Amino acid sequence: MKEILSTKNAMIKEFKKLHKKKYREENQQYIIEGFHLIEEADKANARIGWILFNQRGRSEWSDWLDNQPQERLIQVSDEVLESLSDLPTPQGMIAIVGMPEFEKDIQFSGGWLLLDNVQDPGNVGTMIRTADAAGLSGVILGEGSSDIYNTKVLRAMQGSNYHLPVIRKPLAEIIDEFKKMKIPVYGTELNPNAISYQKIRRIENYALIMGNEGQGVSTEFLEKTDQNIYIPIKGAAESLNVAIAAGILMYHLENDN
């Protein structure tokens, strides 16, 4: 087991770079923080390279750490852990994880959530976690959507990226694939041609597109859908948060009604 006490250590400097997307992609690695996420990654056989922990981490999760390969453990000072964390109070443990070597093949069955230019990391992570909870088959991130290896997205997902496929693909290509398979694609938009989501009956296979926080789903994709749907608003609020709206729609489409 290694021990690193200085923030000037060359390995620590390289790890810190992983907070930037450019370096994550170059190194094919990302950072996760906190015992829960690291345990989820371990259960999913993710490619954990290093586990860094301070005295708090050692005292709280000693049994788990003792069962890990010692060659991938690094005990660090509080200062080192704070330099790698983007939380006000570090949780005592950080892991460096390798990105999946091969992208999972898409099985065009079940429900799929398609995200069009959803930029807020919290929204992206929350929708992926909700898709997992609702029983969808997977999530596809289109152009402009937040990187799932952003630490804020990872925290919001709470490990759901290890439970279902989360794939980055051009949505125009994906929508065409669904349509070739005669799987209905639902867009979300409030316009004269859209209908209330309550009129949509549950079907086994479908795709649901959620759009950008400000502009919604792009016109290009709305013109390709089989049906555009909306959630009626009864109060004075102008709109719903995109992650809340996605949750309502996913649970409606995944449950008998």
Q: What is the pLDDT of residues 122-154, one digit of tens each?
A: 999 999 999 999 999 999 999 999 999 999 999
Show me where the domains of the chain are located.
2-98, 111-254
Collapsed DSSP state (helix, strand, coil) of residue 88: coil
CATH number for the domain running over 2-98: 3.30.1330.30
| Phi, psi of 220, rounded to the nearest 5 degrees | -55, -45
- Angle among Cα 166, 123, 126 to the nearest 5 degrees reads 60
Give the residue carrying structure tokens 């021990």.
3
Architecture per CATH, 111-254: 3-Layer(aba) Sandwich (3.40)
What's the pLDDT at 257?
53
As a whole number, mean pLDDT of residues 55-65 equals 96
Collapsed DSSP state (helix, strand, coil) of residue 218: coil
The pTM (predicted TM-score) of the whole model is 0.93
Residues 184-228 have pLDDT tens digits of: 999 999 777 899 999 999 899 999 999 999 999 999 999 999 999
